[in-house]
Amino acid sequence: MNIQTIANLSLFPIGVVCTINAIRAFYMYSLSRNDILFILGFAMSSIAMAVFMSNIGDAHLVPYNTQWARYMCSSSGALCIFLSSIVKSHEQLGQLKRGQVILGAVAVMVIALTPILPPFASPLIPATLNNIRTVIYGAALIRYASLYILKESRFSLIMSFAFLLLVTGFILVTPQLLHPDPTTATLNIIASFVRVVGYSLLLVAYSFG
């Protein structure tokens, strides 16, 4: 097990905490019927699933390319968090909730298809998927930063920092995705730890924000 794999596996506890938060969000939703909690529960489940799929791949527990599912889940989770921060009415919130169910079905399909999904034919593919993910997280960063400027809430501040770190982590990993090279491994490890801190902050925001 190399340092890179260890760095990636360090995300595992984040996945566990995301799962706990997802369960908590769904439980709270069942008691309050607050749609934002449903959306959060889904987003946390997606991020947890992304982490676990990544871990499964990195630990070589299965001989498949789990990165498709990882990018899909990671992106859809952040997309939902971002969209829930820009809705303007309860009606839009309801539409987002329904859209999430479709997104969830697609994510499940991608996970289920993992055994037959091909390995990446070119480094451009993971780099592009990573960039798409970065754009989504970047949009969330801008949104929460603007919410912080408007409302100055602790929650939006912590969320802004969380997304900033996550975006930084994703950007740092891009060179390694494009040109896998042992000399850039250090950058990759730093990127992994930045992401761990980013996800941790995300969870701090939802726990104490």
Partner 1 sequence: MHSIDEVFSWLSRAMVHQWHIPLVQFWAAQAYRTGQTRLELRTVASEDPSLPAAIHSNQQVADVVQRLLQERRGVSPLPATHVFSSSQVGALAHYKLHYWTGYFLKNDLLLPPKKEATEEKIPTPVNMIVSLFLQHLPSERLGRALDFTFRHSLLTATSRGFLLTSPDRTSSDSAAESVSQHIQPTLSTLIPHRSESIEAMRAGNPFANASILPDKNTRRLYSLVNGHRDVATLARLADLNQKETEEALRLLLQQEKIELHDFKGNSIDASLVLKVSG
Minimum CB–partner distance for residue 160 and partner 1 (Å):
12
Minimum CB separation of residue 20 from partner 1 in Å reads 12
- Of 71 and 144, which has the nearer Cβ to partner 1? 144
Asked if 105 and 158 touch (Cβ cutoff 8 Å), the reply is no
In angstroms, give the least distance from the CB of 33 to partner 1: 4
Contact 21, 203 (CB under 8 A): yes
Helix intervals (H) in the chain: 3-9, 12-32, 35-58, 67-84, 90-112, 124-151, 154-178, 185-208
Which residues of this protein are in contact with partner 1, per CB under 8 A? 24-25, 28-34, 36-37, 40, 84-91, 93-94, 147, 150-151, 153, 155-156, 205-207, 209
Is the Cβ of residue 2 or residue 153 nearer to partner 1 in the bound state? 153
Closest CA to 102 of 70, 131, 80, 126: 80
CB of 147 to partner 1, least distance (A): 5
Residue 50, number of CB atoms within 10 A of its CB? 29
**Is the CB of 22 or the CB of 53 nearer to partner 1?**
22
Q: Which residue, 53 or 139, is less far from partner 1 as judged by CB?
A: 139
Nearer to partner 1 among residue 28 and residue 171 (C-beta): 28
DSSP designation for 209: -
Minimum distance, C-beta of residue 90 to partner 1, in the bound complex (Å): 4
Are residues 49 and 111 in contact, defined by beta-carbon separation less than 8 angstroms? yes
Rounded Cα distance, 152 and 140, in Å = 16
Cα–Cα distance for residue pair 148/170, rounded to 1 Å: 23
